[in-house]
Structure 1
Amino acid sequence: MGMFDVEFQEEINLKEGNKSLFEFVKKQFLKDKDYETKIEKESLSIPKCNINTYLRYNLNITTSTNKKDKTSQILVNAELHDTLILAILVILAIPFTYGIGIIFIVIFTYYQKIQATKHLRKLLENYKSTI
């Protein structure tokens, strides 16, 4: 996991199963754009997804069910996809700004991570309120 990747875990009570969660998340992200999605038994993958940010992330949501407690653990993992663009910006920032521009690039990227984390947590809270 990289410094600018999003990863968190939440516990949720899935009454209708994984399908309803995955369809809810898919519907929320497919409002604006058409993303390539991959739904498996216990995971959802959306590559090159804008999670309410300027940078793109590879989103992966995995669930694991505990049958004793009838609860599910949801692991949300969003890996930063636009690393090449950031690397080019860092390389250009060194000679043109004497390295000071790198600070702004790091702050911007970290802010994008915070925005993506807030958006994904809010999305899960909205799902919890619908069940």
Structure 2
Amino acid sequence: MINTPAELKARYPYQFAGPIISMSFARGWFQIFVQLCEDIDVALGENKRGFHWTQLKEKFGVVRAYYGLEKGFLDREPVLRDRLMELKSTAESKTARICAACGDPGKVDPATGWLIALCPMHRAQQLDRKLESFWLKDHEAGS
């Protein structure tokens, strides 16, 4: 099992080899991203086609993941292009139902002011201003 961003980068170095704008890993969403990296690796097969993540961030309460590919790939491989988009979209949508802090079931609650998927316990901490940071550094455990 991959537990840290550093382990993930070591397992799939090509996915982190290109120019990166930023990478933010939420503790509760980390295993969703690990699975996405595994699924992307399988979908690409032997030829990794210059695939690399360019940005991973939270926006409007869920993960947004962006990637780059070798020039011209999207035109030459429409079926694989669609598969990559499907995998990414599925992973992103899962984060709307998973607590970013712990990985338990959660939801985005716009009424609280900060759009982020949280479970009831972490939502209460957030409302009380006692929610500790859940953003992982390369060396921290993902679960």
TM-score class normalised by the smaller sequence: 0.3 to 0.5
Instruction: Provide TM-score, normalisation by structure 2.
Output: 0.34
More relative contact order, 1 or 2 (CA 8 Å, 6+ apart): 2
| Rg larger for | 1
**Higher percent of residues as strand:** 1
Instruction: Provide TM-score, normalisation by structure 1.
Output: 0.36
